[in-house]
Each structure stands twice: as C-alpha cells, then as structure tokens.
Amino acid sequence: MVELATSTVMHFDPELIDEYRNRMLVDGYFNISAGTHLPWSVNIEHIASGIKTLAEHGWPPSFILMYDEPWVLTHQVQELVRMCTGNALIMDFATFFVGSGIDASGTTTNGTSGARENTSGWPPHRDRSSDTSTTAFRSDGLPKYSTTWIPLTTASPTNSCQYIRALPCDAGSLLHFSHRLLHWGSAA
C-alpha cells in the first residue's frame, strides 16, 4: 500500500521553474538532484527492489507498472514537466534493469543471480528521430516532446548512466531532456 501525502504533486519555487525552463532552451536538458527539491511520496528503493525481483524471476522490468508506486512518481512530476516544457505526459514508459552487478563506485555487488544481465549501454541516438526540426519545437523554442529519467539506484559512468550529463546521479534524482538531444547509455 502506498502512503500518499495530502497532495502528491510537487510544487516548485517559480524561480527554479524559470531556471529549469531556461536550461531546456539553452542546454536541452535540466537535472534536479535527489533530496529537498524532489520529495517523493514513494520509496524509490522499494521500486528498484521490485524491478530487481521481477528480473530475477524472469519477468520484464516493465511489469513494475502493475504497482502504484511508478504511477505516483509520474503523477508527482506531471506539473513540473508541464511548467518547464509545456508538455503533458503521454505515459510512454521505458523500464530497464541493467543488472550489471557493479555499483556506482565500480565495486562488484552480489544479488543479480537469475537476472538477465545487460553488459552494454545504448548507442547514441535521439528519441523520436523522425520528427523534423520545423515541427519538433514550439515557437518559444521548447521541444514538443521530452524525456524524464529517474534513476532508481545511483547511476554513474561505471554502472550505467545517461550520457547527456555523464556524472553520477543519485537514486531519486531527475534528468529531463529534449527528444532531439543526442544521448546514450554507458557500458554497465
């Protein structure tokens, strides 16, 4: 059972929204570190554990969507995405279990027995690559489509991160980027 706060939608200072929106316009992405600015109403570790358990039993990681917690995360970020990009959520989920057995510091870990291990990241690509530049952006320069990535475990270039910003991202951080921004996954 998910215990929800009275209001689960996150509220951000208007100055932060302006900063994130400007970063989308200038850099094509913004990131928010886990902690005070991301008061999740669900336990991120529980979602990560659920995905690991699914993988260990041979089930697709996307089966985590049968539970409430990922939907609560989605509900929580919807207003942030709308205010920073003008986009409504379209609920196009991609859920992965990298399962490399390597943590963010490069230390070998145990406990991935039975999971299908992914030993490489994703090649460089753009999301929605068929969109032309004349139809992919609004008149204000913001992308019509964007992606939100929330690492459920600490991600680094050692164990798997998004190469937009190849720096460690703590579990529960948020990286939001334009669909036209070239990105790839590190080897894991």
Residue range 89-112, pLDDT digits in tens? 887 888 877 765 555 555 656 544
Q: Report residue 47 CA to chain centroid gap.
A: 13
Q: Looking at residue 5, what is its pLDDT?
A: 45
Place of tokens 């996150």: 10
Contact call for residues 25 and 82 (beta carbons, < 8 A) = no
Quick one: tokens of 85?
């990009």
- Residue 109 forms beta bridges with which residues? none
Token readout for 117 is 């291990």
Report, as ranges of residue numbers, the positions in the chain whose pLDDT lies below 50: 1-2, 5-6, 111-116, 118-119, 188
Count how many Cα atoms sit within 13 Å of the Cα of residue 9 in the half-sphere of its side chain.
Answer: 7
**Contact assessment for residue 116 and residue 173, using Cβ atoms and an 8 Å cutoff:** no
Residues in the chain: 188
Whether 95 and 51 have beta carbons less than 8 Å apart is answered as yes
Query: What pLDDT does 105 receive?
Result: 59
